[in-house]
Amino acid sequence: MDNIRLINIKEAILSENQDLANEIRERLARGKVYMLNVMSSPGSGKTSVIVETIRRLKGAHRIAVIEADIESLVDAEKIAREGVAAVQLHTDGACHLDAPMVQAALETLDLRDLDLIFLENIGNLVCPAEFDTGATRKAMILSVPEGDDKVLKYPLMFSVCDVLIVNKTDYLELTDFDMKTLKERVARLNPAMKIFELSCKTGLGVKEWCDWLESDMKKI
């Protein structure tokens, strides 16, 4: 296999993607729209966290969700039930969102009508970390049943994100997940990372997370 050729193409794609991502981010900033790229493993609760956040913030902010999925409509239907705009992006097998896909989705939305856009990425802790989508901030969700060692195993994702939401904390007492160990591991890799502990089932921590998000929205 001609690895050098492959690497060059990958670099070219990433560089072209980065240019477009920067353009998207500037356009959003000019329009005072905050876009959050939400990443996690499959089943960590991206849609649930987004739904809980929408319920708390939709009175005060105009919200839309861009849903990436390889081929289903499952999540977009859940979001649409919350009464906010949902755009479904089918990646047709692709394992991550990139800036061109996000730009295509943004063209279907009128940014003048929006304050906040959630970008729900494909469930994958590897590939989405490599692609800037133009989002204002990057958040990742780690659910307690996945274990506290994921920082060691998927370090790029933990390095590139601004915020970590530890979800499904209602499972804490059933597992050997150690929150202190997790926080130490995160601090070594990405000391600036904000950490929120959440349970979408019990509602614990949802307010703290939403308060931070609202305060961060004011910074753009």
- 158 in contact with its own copies (CB under 8 A): no
Rounded CA separation 172/105 (Å) = 37
First-to-last CA distance in the chain? 45
Binding residue (CB under 8 A) for its own copies from 117, 122, 163, 193: 122
- Interface residue with its own copies among 4, 112, 173, 174 (CB under 8 A) is 174
Task: Return the SS3 of 106.
Answer: helix
User: What's phi and psi for 192, nearest 5 deg?
Assistant: -80, -5
Does residue 14 interact with its own copies by CB under 8 A? Answer: no
Contact map string, positions 54 to 93, toward its own copies, x by CB under 8 A = ---------------xxxx-x------------------x
Q: Report if residue 16 touches its own copies, rule: CB under 8 A.
A: yes
- For residues 79 and 52, is the Cβ–Cβ distance under 8 A? no
| Stretch of 38-46, 50-58, 131-139, 186-194 contacting its own copies, by CB under 8 A | 38-46
Contact in structure between 148 and 181 (CB atoms under 8 Å): yes
CB 89 within 8 A of CB 69: yes
Which residue ranges make up the site for its own copies (CB under 8 A)? 1, 5-6, 9, 13, 16, 41-43, 69-72, 74, 93, 95, 100, 122-127, 130, 143, 145-147, 149-150, 152-156, 168, 170-171, 174
